[in-house]
Amino acid sequence: MAIGFILINVAPAHEHDVYNKLSKIPQIVELHPLFGEYDLIAKIDAKDFEELGIIIVNKIRSIIGILDTKTLTGLTF
């Protein structure tokens, strides 16, 4: 299993809409607003790194209002 922590920058005035859309993605198991350089952090559980990449590109980065993401990855033992 692969775990991803996605740091997300959101365009001003899009924070609530982006949060609501992200919260409907089933692979996102945690979603938290942040203060500082990034606006949100999402934790994703995926079966492998290929699926993790597909989720990030097709389901997260495609949301209108998301400006940029940074992905931190890990493994579950």
Q: Which pLDDT score, from 0 to 100, does residue 76 have?
A: 62
List, for residues 12-26, the tens digit of each pLDDT value.
999 999 999 999 999
Domains parsed from the chain with CATH numbers: 2-75 (3.30.70.920)
Integer Cα distance of 56 and 23 in angstroms: 14
Which segments in the chain show pLDDT lower than 70?
75-77
Per-residue 3-state assignment (H helix, E strand, C coil) for the chain: CEEEEEEEEECCCCHHHHHHHHCCCCCEEEEEECCCCCCEEEEEEECCHHHHHHHHHHHHCCCCCEEEEEEEEEECC
Q: Judge whether 25 and 34 are in contact, CB under 8 Å.
A: no
